[in-house]
Structure 1
Amino acid sequence: MASLSDFVKAYDVRGLVPEQLSPQVATAVGAAFAEVVVLPEGHSGIVVGHDMRPSSPELSAAFADGVTSRGVDVAVLGLTSTDELYYASGALDRPGAMFTASHNPARYNGIKLCRSAARPIGQETGLAEVRDLAQWLLDSPTGLFAPTRGRGTVEAREVLADYAAFLRSLVDLSGIRPLTVVVDAGNGMGGHTVPAVLGTAAGLPELPLTVVPLYFELDGTFPNHEANPLDPANIVDLQAAVVHHGADLGLAFDGDADRCFVVDADGTPVSASAITALVAAREIERARAAGDTEIRVVHNVICSRAVAEVIREHGAQPVRARVGHSYIKADMARTGAVFGGEHSAHYYFRDFWFADTGMLAALHVLAALGGQHAPLSALVAGYERYPSSGEINSTVEDAAAVADTLRAWASVRQAGIDELDGLTVTSPGQGGPMWWFNVRASNTEPLLRLNVEAADRETMEHVRDEILGLVRAGARGGHESERSHD
């Protein structure tokens, strides 16, 4: 029998199919979700969606079977992006479940769970209880299929047009100049949502956009490249197509289309921190125009220092948070923040139930670019202020020992230390160049992640190499990469 602790992660479920995540496991998780989350909050129904992976229809149907066994109704959305699922949860005020493994290879699948109004569920906010009850149901001879009340119903529900119209209502695209945009959906759910949001299929006004599609065919085997645009290898086709078509920009979405990545007209990637700063500035001004006086924006510990600087320059308060959607959403709800951004290209909006939507971030980029005549590279230049290392991953034998070594290193140099998420060390501020680094364990993989930023490239490279040497002294097998999946 599967041990759920092996693949129930910090803020979602993600495992191999069927070795870990099988239809039987999905049924148990569905029943546990109904018992732990849905019924105690007084809800009679949930929404369920799935991505284009071959295993997703069967797993989502098994999950719905577990939910209905507890007397809870299920609205089945069918093929859905994760942010479309969040829209349904918010608009219908129902808990939800999305079957996707995001950027992971085809042999994986997973479940992202949320409370009503797209409120997050993580290990500390209910996921551990769902896991433990599901495990008990799997281990019990009769528990899984013993209904405690009348069976719930299953009905199909279509929300794509409403989702598209809602997003378009949040960003004013009227009057933008004509733009050519290449969109790489990576055979993921962006191929489902981009035509609806940027097109006229939902009865929306036509936009002055020429969209050049790449890999819009829904195919969970990912025949062209992995649906993880954080890996530079997976945006090579997008970069080439932008240059070939003379496009103004390129957009890439991950497998479940909740993250958006941007390249400029030269095919150069724009950092997620720069997009966070750009969108933050727009959302701050939008909130101020609506009468808000105390405006906050959340960013995670890995974002560039430029993000907090831009937030302050626009008269708002930055709020620093842990990496991960459940933490960002919780901090946004607690502080009433108008926007939140992560280095991994997750973007969160107060007007979208504090949930993440790459599509809404893309609309902001299009509106900002189309509202003036400079190229995207010039538009974001003021947000790309400091050289950074990117995220460098290492497999280590003893992460705690590495952290102790780095604390000692920082103490000798009288550097600042905080441990909000992993270990962040900042330069002493005694007249030398600014630098900071963060080392943290991944929430989704057995890796230690290093990020370094500094006032100039020479300082960044010096700090990077010195710290990386200390980290790799504890490395097992020398596994390093610059791919981030959190």
Structure 2
Amino acid sequence: MQAFNWQKIQNGSDIRGVAIAGVPNEEVNLTPEVVSILGKAFASWLSQKLNKPTTELLISVGRDSRLSGAELMQAVMTGINALGSQVYDLAIASTPAMFMSTITDGFKCDGAIMLTASHLPFNRNGLKFFTAQGGLEKKDITDILTLAEKNEFVVSESQGKITEHNFIAVYASQFVTQIRRAVNHPEHYEQPLKGLKVIVDAGNGAGGFYADQVLLPLGADITGSQFLDPDGTFPNHVPNPEDKAAMAAICDAVIKHQADFGIIFDTDVDRSAAVDQFGKELNRNRLIALISAIVLQEHPQSTIVTDSITSDGLTKFIERDLQGKHHRFKRGYKNVINESIRLNQTGHESWLAIETSGHGAMKENYFLDDGAYLVSKLLIELAKSKLTGKSLTDLIVNLQEPIESEEFRIKMTVDDFKALGDRLINDLQAFASNQPDWQIVPHNYEGIRVSCNSIDENGWFLLRLSLHDPVMPLNIESNIEGGVAKILQRLTAFFQSIEGLDISAFSRNG
């Protein structure tokens, strides 16, 4: 392992790599040997953090439905056992459930590992780590990889053992209890979703449990639910609420089966989206608006933290209609969560941190980005609104949505792409400042955001540097037809003068 590049498998606060061969130009770097060493490294890191011998540690391990999951899970458990630590094998589970295994009575594991690569292709896999304080930060992952690279672990004379547990059933029962109490149905306390047809699309990931173990006990009709069985080839569609084919699949299912509500999860259930009774997507800005309306009913005037690409209409809705505060921050689920936590620590009440991708974390739920928790909050409101003869989406009737919304990914073809990206943002700032009908948006925390105020544009754009790749995403929204093309036309003249850029993505709009 001396020549292995350990830092290459770090992806922010996660570890990700290629676990299955066969895809051109994607060499396997997440092997059982590597993962076994990572198990030892996590146990060692945890021992140092908790000031507790590895022989006294209890670590839970779970996985999603990926083809490589079973083998890699066995490898990581073997590594943990080698240092004398005990392992709870939670089998196929969700990422949020793994965190809950560190704080739930009867378990309270010292740490947890989830093997998942979220919505990435079938040949990828990765590891997410938790303690009772939450998910690990980027620096923690760097420290674990440093221990892995040294590989100087002392193998215990007494090997740890593996014990199997059905924790997902425990986790599911927590939602059942939560929804019963919150709805408090006057006639059907045990089955507050009776009379509602709710369809779940798990995309053959780990979220199928929600239909059978949460909705059914609550009395919901789950006829039409689809792709509930785990299948790491993802034969039907990518398990990703941001994927157009995935959203089309759940929308079609809701319409076909005349359902009241549709739910879709990503592979490891830390993200979700929903569909209303008319087959209309409740994702991105709509999902944020809906959960914000619920949160601000419970916690008036508090702050909603979102990522940087939310719409102007969402800001108006949160601040004007809901009387809350909208704090538009940076992309990255860890960024919005940590910012919301920071606000609370400085005396500014914030109960929700949410990305347009569907990552949503709530203060009342340990700031855990849990797709199942998010949709449970929506289902509670759905059941309550039915009792009063209203519709769930009445909550967002005043949300103004853009007529057009596009994202273009500008590729950078130079080695030092971060330097080029920083220079590009500075140059664009100067360019935008000289446009009489453009206004640079203040208090922007990522890249540059500009309001485009001419009557044939009536929108905004945001240019930022990707978190990890040599790409600059350009998001453009407009409140009139043809507005995106007008804004893009003016920007194209600017980008064409910069060397080291591939702006071929613009051609699809022109």
* TM-score, scaled to structure 2: 0.81
Task: Determine the structure 2 residue equivalent to 1:198.
Answer: 215
Residue equivalent to 2:196: 179
2:376 equivalent among 363, 368, 374: 363
The question of whether the paired residues in 2 share the 8 Å contact of 1:281 and 1:310 is answered with no
Question: SS of the counterpart of 1:344?
Answer: coil
Distance 2:157 2:309 in 1: 47
- What is aligned with 1:412? 434
- 1:91-240 mapped onto 2 (5 Å cutoff): 91=104, 92=108, 94-117=110-133, 119-123=134-138, 125-137=139-151, 143=152, 146-147=154-155, 151-171=159-179, 172-175=182-185, 178-200=195-217, 206-240=218-252
Match of 1:63 in 2: 76
Change in CA separation of 1:444 and 1:37 when aligned onto 2, cut-off 3 Å? farther
Q: Higher Cα Rg: structure 1 or 2?
A: 2
Aligned-partner residue type, residue 14 of structure 1: R
Give 1:240-319 correspondences, 5 Å limit: 240-287=252-299, 295-312=302-319, 313-319=321-327
Distance 1:148 1:420 in 2: 52
Instruction: State the structure with bigger RCO (CA 8 A, min sep 6), 1 or 2.
Output: 1
Aligned residues of 2:198 and 2:221 also touching (Cα < 8 A): yes
Closer, same or farther in 2 for the Cα pair 1:52/1:132, shift >3 Å?
A: same
Letter in 2 for 1:108: R
Which residue number in structure 1 is paired with residue 459 of structure 2? 435
Change (3 A) 1:388 1:159: farther
Aligned-partner residue type, residue 303 of structure 2: R
Name the structure 2 match of 1:402: 424
SS at structure 2 position matched to 1:52: coil
> Which runs of no fewer than 5 residues in structure 2 stay unpaired?
21-27, 186-192, 345-349
CA shift, 1:79, in A, is: 0.8
Match of 1:423 in 2: 447
Aligned to 1:281, the other structure's residue is in SS state helix
Partner of 2:59: 46
Moved more, 365-374 or 11-20: 365-374
TM-score (norm 1): 0.84
> Alpha-carbon deviations, 1:38-68, whole Å to 9, x = none?
5323463222211111211221222223233
Cα distance 1:165–1:407, how it changes in 2: closer, same or farther (>3 A)? same
**Residue 418 and residue 96 in structure 1: after superposition, are their counterparts in 2 closer, same or farther (change >3 A)?**
farther
Q: CA separation of 1:226/1:430 partners in 2, compared to 1, >3 Å: closer, same or farther?
A: closer
User: Distance in 2 between the 1:480 and 1:132 partners?
Assistant: 41
Task: Call closer, same or farther: CA 1:446–1:71 in 2, change over 3 Å.
Answer: farther
Partners of 2:448 and 2:102 in 1: how far apart? 35
Question: Partner of 1:11 in structure 2?
Answer: 13
Letter in 2 for 1:411: S
Rounded to whole Å, the distance in 2 between the matches of 1:126 and 1:380 is: 40
Q: CA deviation at 1:247?
A: 2.0
Q: 1:277 to 1:477 in 2, by over 3 A?
A: closer
Q: Which residue of 1 aligns with 2:42?
A: 33
| 1:187 CA displacement | 0.8
Deviations 1:426-457 (A, max 9, x none): 32889998633222233355432222234545
Q: Can you list the C-alpha shifts for 1:21-47, whole angstroms capped at 9, x where unaligned?
A: 111111222222223345323463222
Q: Cα gap change, 1:468/1:75 in structure 2, threshold over 3 Å: closer, same or farther?
A: farther
1:449 equivalent to 2:462? Answer no
Corresponding residue for residue 335 of structure 1: 343
Partner deviation per Cα, 1:458-479 (whole Å, 9 max, x = no partner) = 5444324533665576543835
The SS at the match of 2:287 is helix
8 Å CA contact retained: 2:241, 2:357: no
- Cα deviation 1:275-299 (Å, max 9, x = unaligned): 11211221232246xxxxx733321
1:194 positional shift: 3.1
Partner letter of residue 253 of structure 2? A
Q: Distance in 1 between matches of 2:365 and 2:66?
A: 26
- What secondary structure sits across from 2:291 in the alignment? helix
2: CA distance, partners of 1:444 / 1:211:
41
| In structure 2, C-alpha distance between the alignment counterparts of 1:273 and 1:38, rounded to whole Å | 42
Moved more, 397-406 or 373-382: 373-382
SS of aligned partner of 2:224: strand
CA distance in 2, matches of 1:319, 1:6: 33
* Cα offset, 1:193, TM superposition: 3.3
Alpha-carbon RMSD across the aligned residues, in angstroms, is 3.2
Aligned to 1:203: none
Q: Which amino acid aligns with 1:284?
A: L
Change (3 A) 1:35 1:359: same
The alignment of Structure 1 onto Structure 2 pairs a total of residues equal to 464
CA shift in 2, pair 1:242/1:136, >3 Å:
same
CA contact (8 A) 1:276 1:340 kept: no
CA distance in 1, matches of 2:359, 2:223: 23
Tell me if the contact between 2:465 and 2:473 (Cα under 8 Å) persists in the aligned partners: yes
Residues 96 and 195 of structure 1: CA distance in aligned 2, closer, same or farther (over 3 Å): same
What letter is aligned with 2:95? Answer: T
Look up the SS of the partner of 1:214 in the other structure.
coil
Q: Which amino acid aligns with 2:322?
A: H
